[in-house]
Amino acid sequence: MRAFFGPGGVLSRSHAHYEFRTSQLEMAQAVEAAFREKRHVMVEAGTGTGKTLAYLLPALLSGRRTVVSTGTKNLQEQLFRKDVPFLLETLAGRGIRDLKVCYMKGRANYLCRQKLYDLQLAPHLPMELDPHAALLQKIRAWDESTEMGDRAELAFLPEGTQNDALWRGIDARRETCTGQECPQFDRCFITAMHRRAVESDLIIVNHHLLFADLALKRTGNRGVSLLPSYSAVIFDEAHEVEEVAGQYFGTSVSNYRVDDLANDCEALFGKGSGSPELHAAVRRLEHNAEVFFGLLAGPEGRVGFTEREEFRSEHGASCANMLSSLEGLHSALASLPPAPPESRSAVREETRRCIERALELRAELEFLLENNTSSFVFWIERRGRGVFLQATPVDVSTLLEEHLFADTDTVVMTSATLSVGGSMDFVRRRLGLRYARDYVLESPFDYGSQAILYLPHDLPDPRHSRFSDRASDEVVRLLEATGGRAFVLFTSYAQMDLVYAQVAGRVKFPLLVQGTAPKTALLDAFRSRPGAVLFATSSFWQGVDVPGEQLSCVIVDRLPFAVPTDPIVMARSRRIDEDGGNAFLDYQIPGAVLALKQGFGRLIRARTDRGVLALLDPRIRTKPYGGLFLESLPGYRVTSDLLEVERFMRKEANVRSHR
């Protein structure tokens, strides 16, 4: 590792912008030792450490199949298309054996060729796809040249509601896959992806795919594993692991899943299958689902489903009808006459998949309505027209210990935000990672000179009615001092909308608001508009990178404590208190510390970045726990004087003007 990363080493001779970073070498040595000794390791590596190369090189040289799991698909792309090729080229000719690398995403990211060809042969496009005829023509041309079939290659089809509806009609999601019965099986992009993975030394995935695979293995479905066997896993952005693991070790039934099943059963009629009994069963399911999910629908967001017994008592008939509709659909599908010889075997496979899905949905819905286990928290969420009934494990640590850490020789957990007050104990407890060495490595950035942390001393408590007015005034003054170029981050949509309404019209800068356009479109607009200001909530607190002076200020409205009424937070807090702990001290505060570190981490992304961080919540100064927040942050220069902020920004402007 020293011969590669050290001064005068291989990297210094291969990378145009090389600079020796002690923390990068220390991390590479720690990861290499974990691979060599077959143990687990946790590494907090500050922004600018160069952690990607520090974990990739030991993985590539380990001689073991390794899975790298990232927090986002964008990071997957960066690893596969930039970082790994650089390393392989650098290692070429140095006695290193040929290494094969691939990336894998969820099935919905890939084109289903058979669906595309079926549309091409149909006399008319389905009504919902007809407005997209021109885009479909472009996709057909792309299909002739693409090797991966990955939607990310389609620059003309960015994520967005209308484009997502088009893509859903031609994607390779599992529910409609006919497997080896498909005429395109040998040319299938999913088949090719799995073949590449079996032959690869390094497989790059995202957290969602990895935990979907672990969830399948947990239920005993090893025959349908998504990933080939591996002996090492590296989690980049490891602070997200608890949340994602909870999603996949839990259960979810939604009106979308029911609608998809009904639509796919209905489509069997157009493929030479189906019966009057099946048609009637589909109609009953659609009607009963509309009634059932209508009873669950509430305000936007999620709420606990703690009174399930009362719900079943009051709406017993609707619950029974919903379950019996799924049973009836299963019976109607199972009773279909054998497909005629001239029909495609794929139709028989589609019918089999629909039968399986009806059984799965019924079993999961019964669990969600009737199971009384205390190890799960049950809750309801509404997103747009979607209604989701869900169960999430209260504690994922034992599940991770059993199904990940015990079964894998080496697990590397790394992120810029894993420690609280210099300790990894909080993340260690939450993930069940009892036996692991841990390292907290410094960022190479000089935070004392690159950033100033502004903590106004005269704002009221955020729970006070006057806070929004005073916070809005402070935001206006800060934006004037920094020339806009800011993220204004909030812990709730309501507070974001309120402050935005009070700031709009008082500043001359272009204002962007989360929810008015897709995330990627908002970021593109922010980067391209001088002085732009983005008002946003939790999804912009992490995984967003805007280096340079275009982002010169990050304002956070309040300490980012988890919403205490959130059903998962309530259940986990209750469990900690029942076990003799203190949920606020042991769970809420450490979680908020990591979230604040993530939010502030948007500002300084390179040695040349400069700017202002502002926290408008006075509790960081007035409450006993505030010291832990300050202790956990990098060594920013701290002030409560807005004039000092203005002087800092004028000085930076002068420095930039002379460059």
The alpha carbon of residue 418 and the mean position of all alpha carbons in its chain are separated, in whole angstroms, by 17
Which one is predicted more confidently, 14 or 543? 14
Q: Residue 62 — pLDDT band, cuts 50, 70, 90?
A: very high
pLDDT at site 130: 72
> Mind listing the pLDDT tens digit for each residue in 173-217?
887 788 888 889 999 999 999 999 999 999 999 999 999 999 988
pLDDT at site 506: 95
Residues 322-357: b if buried by 16+ CB within 10 A, e if exposed: bbebbebbbebbeebeebeeeebebbbbbbebbbeb
Question: Which residue intervals of 47-150 are DSSP H helices?
Answer: 51-61, 73-78, 84-91, 113-121, 133-143
> Mind listing the pLDDT tens digit for each residue in 143-179?
999 999 999 898 888 776 667 778 888 999 887 788 8
Work out the average pLDDT over 222-250: 90
Q: Does residue 469 surpass a pLDDT of 90?
A: yes
pLDDT above 70 covers what percent of the chain? 95
pLDDT at site 217: 85
> Mind listing the pLDDT tens digit for each residue in 518-544?
888 899 999 999 999 999 998 888 878
pLDDT at site 351: 87
Work out the average pLDDT over 256-278: 84
Total Cβ atoms within 10 A of residue 442: 17
Look-up of token digits 């595309």: 116
Q: Residue 125 — pLDDT band, cuts 50, 70, 90?
A: confident
Give the H/E segment covering residue 154.
Answer: none
pLDDT at site 16: 83
Residues 369-402: b if buried by 16+ CB within 10 A, e if exposed: beeeeeebbbbbbbeeeebbbbbbbbbbbebbbe
The alpha carbon of residue 400 and the mean position of all alpha carbons in its chain are separated, in whole angstroms, by 18
610, 552 in Cβ contact below 8 A?
A: yes
In one-letter notation, the amino acid at residue 227 is L
pLDDT above 90 covers what percent of the chain? 73
Cα 125 to Cα 130: distance, rounded to the nearest angstrom: 5
Q: Does residue 415 surpass a pLDDT of 80?
A: yes
Q: Does residue 308 surpass a pLDDT of 80?
A: yes
Work out the average pLDDT over 543-550: 84
Work out the average pLDDT over 418-422: 96
Cα 37 to Cα 237: distance, rounded to the nearest angstrom: 23
Give the H/E segment covering residue 471.
Answer: helix 467-482
pLDDT at site 60: 95
pLDDT at site 323: 97
Local structure of 129: helix, strand or coil: coil
pLDDT at site 655: 61
Half-sphere exposure of 45 (CA within 13 A, CB side): 29
Domains of the chain by start residue, with CATH? 2-100+200-248+396-441 (3.40.50.300), 107-183 (no CATH), 251-393 (1.10.275.40), 447-657 (3.40.50.300)
Local structure of 187: helix, strand or coil: helix
Round the average pLDDT of the chain to a whole number and report it.
91
496, 489 in Cβ contact below 8 A?
A: no
